[in-house]
Structure 1
């Protein structure tokens, strides 16, 4: 490719020459960086800032590559450029799932560019993300339902740990399938013990946003057992504290609302297996470093909030919850549930098929007219 290398522009503010009536008279020749900033500003209105940041970092490398190749304006991009960029990223020893994700994001960005006529309409279709097997797309690590039951039984039966913060956090996470941010953001007033449900509310201006914004707001029903745990935790073990916005978190630290890192560490500590069984790694609990707050994440068998969520969603599916209904409860699409969270074993899949279809295999129920 014989393009001169162009130095990055000193400013990426979009400048469109006005016409006599003050409007632009044509589609501007935006650079890749200017087009990216315009796209990020657009999607920021409807997406969580964490998602926008992820797109920024994925596309930052593409913009830098375009600048190094002298591709200005963005309308000069063609299919060979996209192929060359993917080849360049492959040479960086990128793992297939990461490369797949980057190319999918590039496709979304170019769809926006095509829509506003910065690039040819056919260009987005020339992005060809590498196909990857399902087992490479998703992390299978989760809190298995059997381990979750053993942990919850332990908390129920141990007089010192029953209704503790760990008991309340794990119970709430397991029975709602909620994300870390949603669990952290719940206020005391969001829990309704009489009606037995909890509300997840998007409060971005007070630093407790939901991943999917206002579309992530929902009410989730709770069982008698979970309500019993929460009720007693609130009375006996919850720190009566406020956050900096005058709100009362449900799951509290000694100073108020915990950080995401603190909630993550609490979950790791709440799920170490030596709470209910002999250590699977040959350690003794009194001398094991993994039972310390700052070290629990290093235990090979402890689980993060995301891994608890994965196990919870799998358990719900195994218990017969339809994916369509579960998607409303855990605020995730059916496709994402089936691809990233629904992790039944081969035996569990067999049992599900047996429940749904095996009863159809009965000669006594043969429809009339099928006896040729």
Structure 2
């Protein structure tokens, strides 16, 4: 430990960092940093740390960073899967930013963060190729229309699939953001009222809805399934629960729930019995090997739009994603699918 450093406990370091970044990180990014750094602090202060619990951030060195990477890659916490190359890169990237801020208050040396090397991700490792197929999405929506018509979960799943929006965009919608006459939704950036958009005001846009989707939303608004409640800012959310605007966690759980094949009467591809499966309770939905988190659903929606002939620039504007990112991370079409898309633009005679 250098005499030039000031003592700081791991817990205090985490609190300092989160408080410092509270106003210059998007809510979802801050939550991600909090999740990753809590794991690191938990490891530092536990017996799992090879040298015993760390009580002063001044004592953390590069060997600790390496040991933590090995721990996350080979073991991780019992309730978590081991990190792959992509998730490890995210973990280490957050640690570098964390230590860079700690240097400002002399908890670590100024050059420490620069000495932490990011793991290299080979081509293809940074792309999540999972997606919800259009056929499965339609089966889910058909089931919801038949058995859960115009419920909050039906409307949420329908709008998420049809608009290709992010989860934060879906959560941001107010009653006034729905225009039934023009068949449209408007996504607006309201960071001071708890519903920021990922790309700020640049992510603001109006998205058209086909008549049958408008009809479902209207029936939901005028029906008994929508709770007439306001959020803590006095706003009227479009989609509600009895407690107000659903949290991001609630939306994520709805997506995990309804992308389980057993929820719509299909057999489990893994051969599991729903009555005995550990992944059928609300607390363990993420343990299901065949359901989906929000990202693959959004990727499936974007890919389905492209397969249906929607031009890339339209999908880009509609989903608030650049064409470059769209092609790399969201549109998971095969080479043959891409060939078929191009076919209609190739003239018969040249």
TM-score by length of 1: 0.67
Residue 259 in structure 1 maps to residue 256 in structure 2 = no
Q: 1:90-169 alignment to 2 at 5 Å?
A: 95-98=84-87, 100-101=89-90, 131-156=120-145, 158=146, 160-169=147-156
Task: Say if 1:150 and 1:276, in contact at 8 Å, map to a contact too.
Answer: no
The corresponding residue for 2:81 is none
* Residue aligning to 1:197: 184
Q: 1:309 aligns with which of 288, 293, 298?
A: 298
Q: Counterpart of 1:8? A: 5
Query: Which residue, out of 167, 170, 177, partners 2:157?
Result: 170
C-alpha distance in structure 2 between counterparts of 1:339 and 1:259, whole Å = 29
Aligned partners of 2:179, 2:335: CA distance in 1, in Å? 39
CA distance in 2, matches of 1:294, 1:87: 32
For 1:314 and 1:133, locate their aligned partners in 2 and report how far apart those are by CA, in whole Å.
24
Sort the Cα spacing of 1:282 and 1:50 in 2 relative to 1 into closer, same or farther, 3 A: closer
**Structure 1 position 198, deviation (Å):** 0.8
Corresponding residue of 1:182:
169
Shift of 1:49: 4.3
| Separation (CA, whole Å) in 2 of partners of 1:85 and 1:283 | 41
- Cα pair distance change 1:295/1:314, threshold 3 Å: same
1:230 positional shift: 0.9
3-state SS, counterpart of residue 175 of structure 1: helix
Q: Relative to 1, partners in 2 of residues 1:105 and 1:256: Cα closer, same or farther, differing over 3 Å?
A: closer
* CA 163–52 in structure 1, closer or farther in 2 if over 3 Å, else same: closer
Aligned to 1:48: 26
C-alpha root-mean-square deviation of aligned residues, in Å? Answer: 4.2
Q: Take 2:229 and 2:265, find their aligned partners in 1: how far apart are those partners? A: 31
Q: 1:348 aligns with which of 313, 337, 346?
A: 337
Are 2:174 and 2:238, in contact at CA under 8 Å, matched by a contact in 1?
Answer: yes
SS in 1 for 2:165: coil
Please show how residues 224-235 of structure 1 align to structure 2 within 5 Å: 224-235=211-222
How many angstroms does 1:332 deviate by? 2.0
Contact conserved, 1:201 with 1:217, CA < 8 A, in 2? yes
Partner-residue secondary structure (3-state), 2:124 = helix
Whole-angstrom distance in 1 between the partners of 2:71 and 2:293: 30
**3-state SS in 2 of match to 1:136:** coil
Q: Work out whether 1:249 is the aligned partner of 2:227.
A: no
- C-alpha distance in structure 2 between counterparts of 1:67 and 1:288, whole Å: 46
Number of residue equivalences: 311
Cα displacement (A) at 1:301? 2.4
In terms of Rg, which structure is larger? Answer: 1
